Chains A and B, each alone.
Chain A
Amino acid sequence: MRQILLDGMQWFLVACAVGAVIRILAGPSAADRLVALNVLSGIVLAFLAIRGVMEGQAIYLDVALVYDIFGFLGLLAIARFLKEKAMGAGEDE
């Protein structure tokens, strides 16, 4: 029962991650891509947590915490310094 729960949830999160990656590729403007990146990092975080519980060792969850901090930092860097305006609305791709 426990194993079924964990495995089922993992496959569901992988499906959500693929959905988010498709939105990253397809998103018309950079803002959609950042939104999809935000979703993707949340989903990967959940996947790490579930996998950590399945493995049972504590170091696996340190990865999730480190990833949460640096993912947030990277997103902050992207959104803080760059603007859509320099490139127009990104429609000439």
Chain B
Amino acid sequence: MISIVTELIALAAFTSAAVFGTAGIIGLYRFPDPYARMQASSLCGTTAVFSVFLGSLALAPSWAVATRLVVLMAFFLVSGPTGGHIVARFAWNSGIDPWRPVSPVIRPARRRFGGGKVERAKDSPLPPESGID
């Protein structure tokens, strides 16, 4: 009896993982800009993977496997989004402009954090001497 319930839970978790996975991978190709792709990839890379963990936790054959899965889920929740943040910081520091130019209100904030001189990407929408930067 118990196996029916766990399999239903796993089925729900795996279908949600499939939905988020396809959305993430499609977003990874459809978006024009590293930042937008980052949003799609973190959607796919954390949500889908976490629901896969939940589904496999439901199907775990023994307690040893289940406890390891819980530890893995805990650590993945820490390292997944942090990895996304690190990549975003890498992209921002290497002067890749967002697809839409960031409104002037946000731009000066970079200087306060000592963001350093940002070399404009070749096809950047901002005019060279826009003075925004």
Q: Which residues of A contact B (CB under 8 A)?
A: 1-2, 5-6, 8-9, 12-13, 16, 19-20, 23, 29-32, 34-36, 38-39, 41-43, 45-46, 49-50, 52-53, 56-58, 61-62, 64-65, 68-69, 71-72, 75-76, 78-80, 82-85, 89, 91
Contacts and interface: CB of A to CB of B under 8 A. Distances in A.
Given A5-B11, A35-B87, A64-B72, A13 B52 contact: yes
A6 B122 CA distance: 47
A6 B28 contact: no
A43 B82 CA distance: 16
A31 B89 CA distance: 10
A56 to B, nearest CB: 5
Interface of B: 3, 7, 10-11, 14, 17-18, 21-22, 24-25, 28-29, 34, 37-38, 41-42, 44-46, 48-49, 52-53, 55-56, 59-62, 64-65, 68-69, 71-72, 75-76, 79-80, 82-84, 86-87, 89-91, 93-96, 119, 121-122
Contacts of B79: 68-69, 71-72
Chain B at the A interface: SS class: helix
Contacts of B10: 2, 5
Contact of B94 (A12, A31, A50): A31
A80 B28 CA distance: 23
Contacts of B68: 52, 58, 61-62, 65
A15 B9 CA distance: 23
Contacts of A62: 68
Nearest to B97: A89
